[in-house]
Amino acid sequence: MNRLFDLPGYDRVPEPNLRFHPDREADRDVHPLSGLLRFGPYSRSLISAVIDPIRIATIYPAGFRKRVDRLFSELEQNHAPRERKNYLPAFPGFARVFGLRAVQAPDDLQLELPVVADREVIGSTRSHLRLAEILIKAINQLLAFRNEFDVALIFLPDKWSAAFYGEVDDFDLHDYIKAVNASRGIPTQLLQEASALSYPCRASVMLRLSIALYSKAGGVPWKISDTDPDSAYIGLSYALRSEQTGKRRFVTCCSQVFDALYDRLPVTLSYAGILARTIKRMPTIHSRPYEFRFFM
């Protein structure tokens, strides 16, 4: 006799336990921020731990130096959350969380862009390309002193926001800068004025920025516990269609691959080809006006 079964439309997946120490099994928490505050980062106990201090170079618009210095001061201050208080803990300072300091690299690596950059970016008909040229030129200056800094911070004012994306050529300043510097081995962090310098909840900004700086300097804040040793975790990214032309477009990439120990695995061209063929066989995905990521 045939029987019909109703399958649930969704299921709840429990939050995974995260490990914050390579040996101490008790150093676990389902909340990444709470675990960091209780136990410190996972890689602090490893031989290849991040070197103290993390040296940070900066690129910023003319007149922004005081705001840049203030941001570094905030990294070592206490901040109470002003939003999502049931999730965000208070931030006690970078050194207390990670056991090391995040400091500005020497003054030669604190690059103020020329005043004319404002006029060139805002007044250009191809402002996104002009801004990219200006930033790459500044990054080239840092490249000559690569051994003197660990991470580069790039500050972007709100008045340049029209240059963050290209309307016709699908240009994305964030993706472009990341791609150029990845090939050079320069970890970068872009900070927009509205979401970093002017954002009212400083605890949120400091927590997110601190984790980004620590990770980009080579640290591992936490690892997923109880993973399958034979599993790999693949980060895929895709974007759909150009809003300008209305033509349906589908672009995808394999952003990163980790094994069960959270160690990066090389993405070979052969492997990337297999992923591309697999994605092509996926069911049609309806257009969305934004890019998002999913993990398998």
Condensed to tens digits (0 to 9), the pLDDT of residues 14-54 reads: 888 899 998 898 999 999 999 999 999 998 888 777 888 99
Higher pLDDT, 40 or 6: 40
Query: In angstroms, rounded to a whole number, what is the distance separating the alpha carbons of residues 110 and 56?
Result: 9
- The residue among 172, 205, 224 that closes a domain is 224
Say whether pLDDT at 81 is over 90: yes
Residues 147-164, mean pLDDT to the nearest whole number: 93
Higher pLDDT, 206 or 251: 206
Residue 276 lies in a domain: yes
CATH code, domain with 76: 3.40.50.2300
Condensed to tens digits (0 to 9), the pLDDT of residues 117-132 reads: 989 898 888 888 899 9
What pLDDT is stored for residue 223 in this prediction? 87
The verdict on 122 and 204 lying in the same domain is yes
What lies within 8 Å, CB to CB, of 10 at 6+ separation is none
Query: In angstroms, rounded to a whole number, what is the distance separating the alpha carbons of residues 199 and 191?
Result: 11
- The residue among 177, 196, 224 that closes a domain is 224
Residue 112 lies in a domain: yes
Residues 6-21, mean pLDDT to the nearest whole number: 82
Backbone conformation region of residue 111, classed left if phi is above 0, alpha if psi is from -120 to 50, else beta: beta
The verdict on 124 and 194 lying in the same domain is yes
What pLDDT is stored for residue 257 in this prediction? 65
Residue 3 lies in a domain: no
Q: What range does the domain containing 217 cover?
A: 18-224
Q: Say what the pTM is.
A: 0.78
The verdict on 153 and 262 lying in the same domain is no
The verdict on 277 and 132 lying in the same domain is no
Residue 203 lies in a domain: yes
What pLDDT is stored for residue 245 in this prediction? 58
What pLDDT is stored for residue 289 in this prediction? 41
Look up residue 109 and give its DSSP letter.
Answer: G
The verdict on 112 and 252 lying in the same domain is no
The verdict on 143 and 247 lying in the same domain is no
Residue 6 lies in a domain: no
Higher pLDDT, 244 or 86: 86
Residue 127 lies in a domain: yes
3-class SS shares of the chain: helix, strand, coil, % to 5:
35, 20, 45
The verdict on 147 and 48 lying in the same domain is yes
The verdict on 179 and 51 lying in the same domain is yes
Query: In angstroms, rounded to a whole number, what is the distance separating the alpha carbons of residues 143 and 183?
Result: 12
Number of domains in the chain: 2
What pLDDT is stored for residue 288 in this prediction? 41
Query: In angstroms, rounded to a whole number, what is the distance separating the alpha carbons of residues 142 and 180?
Result: 13
The verdict on 238 and 183 lying in the same domain is no
The verdict on 179 and 267 lying in the same domain is no
Higher pLDDT, 204 or 123: 204
Say whether pLDDT at 84 is over 60: yes
Residue 139 lies in a domain: yes
The verdict on 190 and 124 lying in the same domain is yes
- The residue among 206, 224, 242 that closes a domain is 224
Say whether pLDDT at 102 is over 90: yes
What is the SS3 string spanning 66-108?
A: HHHHHHHHHCCCCECCCCCCCCCCCECCHHHHHCCCEEECCHH
The verdict on 77 and 216 lying in the same domain is yes
Categorize the per-residue pLDDT at 179 as very low, low, confident or very high, splitting at 50, 70 and 90. confident
Residue 241 lies in a domain: yes
What lies within 8 Å, CB to CB, of 265 at 6+ separation is 232, 257, 258, 259
Query: In angstroms, rounded to a whole number, what is the distance separating the alpha carbons of residues 28 and 17?
Result: 6
Categorize the per-residue pLDDT at 269 as very low, low, confident or very high, splitting at 50, 70 and 90. very low
Residues 283-292, mean pLDDT to the nearest whole number: 41
Higher pLDDT, 2 or 227: 227
